[in-house]
């Protein structure tokens, strides 16, 4: 039988890491023998286990070990990380290591070094000259790149339950629409204020429902108050925000009365056409065509916008990226320094962003559909905290909570969402 000795340490019992490890071993057809175990007796005291993993063949053992490493298991053999050279551009060598979004280290020359720019489902490239390890997506690897293969010399810091009962601990229970939303939103607001005050970046990922529900004005206020440093979205969010600013409608529905405007079904196309005529969103602000809305505020306050399009887009609006690899590149670049992510009513862009975020980024997913809220955690974004509610309710209460935190007056006005109708 093939075998390997591993170690697990930390809060591996109350975080269910150890039982999950045993399940993986047995579910994959392996067996284990515990050689040493130490159970922490206090909340601040970690636990430790050393055990031998056995399997009928090397292939099964490799599968078990690769999954256990995602829980933070470390091989005892102490070998350096193994690598292989890329021989074809955009093609990884056989047996390449696929990352998680958890903090990861590799052993190089007998020393552990951090893997830079960690995200899930990418390769690790080694730069021996500068003693660096960093992530690269498959399509970006070049001939000669030294890519990590196998499972030796890799150490992953497992995701553990928070020791204190704070918002990103108790929000990660089973998703329910009956949770105490206002209390959660107040905690989120407090975390946002702390992040902003220490100079951290906050990312907002927005779907068109933000505009449809009349909540765009709240995002505009958050931008003015300095709570938004990056915005991700698609063609729809920018199109309907501009439509609201120019015509007072979203998908042809009057945002003041909630009634369908005659001929309003083409207002989003008129909005795209108007911006295309002047050349860009920035130019529209410069010439005075665009005078309100969350996009207006983002441009005015120099908040980076990464707008990734899709096959269904009309237009598209100038500034929307139609090359998906370029969109990913710009998203990765914009994510540097982000400490908190708020994703509102945007399933596809939320999942795409979750795939790029390290697990250390506090992430809040808000949607009226519980399936959307749980999907990120199902896809490996362990840090995602879910809130099932309407986009307008969430953003309205979030702004109110932030006003209370700062003891500031209401300066929402008519910006971005409930706009006057222009002729």
Contact (CB, 8 A) for 363 and 341: yes
- Radius of gyration (Cα) for the chain, nearest Å? 24
pLDDT of residue 165: 46
Contact (CB, 8 A) for 87 and 80: no
Bridge-based pairing state of the strands 253-254 and 249-250: antiparallel
Phi, psi dihedral angles at 10 (to 5 degrees): 115, -155
pLDDT of residue 110: 86
pLDDT tens across 167-212, in order? 454 444 444 455 568 888 999 999 999 999 999 999 999 999 999 9
Q: How many helices and strands in the chain, by DSSP H and E? A: 14, 20
- Give the residue carrying structure tokens 């902003």: 196
Using the predicted structure, report yes or no on whether residue 369 has a pLDDT greater than 50: yes
Judge residue 257's burial from the number of C-beta atoms within 10 Å of its C-beta, 0-12 exposed, 13-18 middle, 19 or more buried: exposed
Q: Which two tokens stand for residue 218?
A: 């709240």
Looking at the DSSP assignment, which residues form a beta bridge with residue 300? none
DSSP 233-290: E-HHHHHHHHHHHHHSEETTEETTT-PBPTTGGGHHHHHHHHHHHHSSHHHHHHTTS-
Using the predicted structure, report yes or no on whether residue 422 has a pLDDT greater than 50: no
Its sign, for the CA torsion 265, 268, 269, 270, is positive
Q: Which of 219, 220, 271 is nearest to 248 (CA)?
A: 271
What average pLDDT does range 71-83 have in this prediction? 87
Q: Which two tokens stand for residue 151?
A: 């499972």
Its sign, for the CA torsion 346, 379, 72, 78, is negative
More confident residue, 186 or 421: 186
pLDDT of residue 419: 38
* CB atoms near residue 169 (< 10 Å): 13
| Cis peptide preceding 348, ω within 30 of 0 | no
Using the predicted structure, report yes or no on whether residue 226 has a pLDDT greater than 60: yes
pLDDT of residue 408: 54
Confidence of residue 418 (pLDDT cuts 50, 70, 90): very low
Contact (CB, 8 A) for 315 and 175: no
More confident residue, 217 or 407: 217
User: Do you know the residue count of the chain?
Assistant: 423
More confident residue, 297 or 420: 297
Confidence of residue 409 (pLDDT cuts 50, 70, 90): low
pLDDT tens across 374-401, in order? 877 666 666 778 888 899 999 999 999 9
CA–CA dist 145, 93 (Å, integer): 10
Its sign, for the CA torsion 207, 209, 210, 211, is positive
């Amino acid at each position: 039988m093939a075998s390997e000795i591993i170690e697990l340490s930390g809060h591996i019992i109350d975080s269910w890491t150890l039982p999950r490890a045993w399940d993986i071993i047995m579910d994959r057809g392996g067996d284990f023998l515990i050689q040493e175990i130490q159970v922490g007796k206090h909340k601040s005291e970690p636990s430790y286990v050393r055990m031998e993993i056995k399997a009928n063949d090397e292939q099964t053992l490799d599968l078990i070990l690769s999954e256990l490493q995602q829980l933070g298991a470390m091989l005892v053999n102490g070998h350096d990380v193994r690598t292989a050279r890329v021989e074809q551009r955009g093609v990884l060598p056989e047996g390449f290591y696929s990352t998680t979004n958890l903090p990861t280290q590799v052993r190089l020359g007998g020393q552990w070094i951090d893997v830079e720019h960690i995200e899930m489902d990418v390769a690790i490239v080694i730069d021996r000259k500068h003693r660096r390890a960093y992530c690269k997506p498959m399509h970006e690897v070049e001939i000669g790149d030294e890519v990590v293969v196998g499972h030796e010399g890799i150490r992953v810091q497992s995701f553990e339950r928070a020791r204190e009962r704070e918002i990103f601990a108790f929000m990660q229970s089973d998703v329910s629409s009956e949770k105490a939303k206002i209390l959660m939103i107040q905690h989120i607001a407090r975390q946002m204020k702390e992040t902003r005050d220490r100079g951290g970046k906050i990312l907002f990922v927005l779907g068109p429902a933000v505009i449809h529900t009349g909540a765009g004005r709240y995002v505009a206020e958050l931008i003015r108050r300095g709570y938004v440093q990056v915005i991700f979205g698609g063609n729809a969010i920018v199109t309907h925000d501009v439509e609201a600013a120019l015509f007072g409608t979203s998908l042809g529905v009057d945002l003041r009365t909630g009634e369908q405007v005659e001929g309003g079904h083409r207002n989003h196309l008129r909005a795209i056409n108007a911006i295309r005529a002047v050349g860009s969103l920035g130019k529209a602000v410069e010439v005075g065509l665009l005078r309100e809305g969350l996009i207006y505020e983002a441009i005015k306050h120099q908040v980076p916008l990464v707008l990734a399009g899709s096959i269904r887009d009309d237009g598209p609006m100038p500034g929307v990226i139609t090359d998906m690899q370029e969109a990913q590149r710009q998203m990765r670049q914009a994510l540097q320094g982000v400490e908190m992510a708020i994703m509102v009513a945007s399933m596809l862009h939320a999942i795409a962003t979750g795939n790029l975020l390290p697990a250390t980024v506090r992430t809040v997913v808000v949607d009226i559909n519980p399936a959307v809220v749980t999907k990120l955690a199902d896809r490996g974004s362990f840090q995602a905290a879910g809130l099932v509610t309407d986009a307008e309710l969430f953003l309205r209460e979030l702004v109110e909570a932030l006003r209370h935190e700062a003891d500031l007056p209401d300066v929402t006005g008519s910006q971005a969402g409930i706009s006057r109708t222009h002729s």
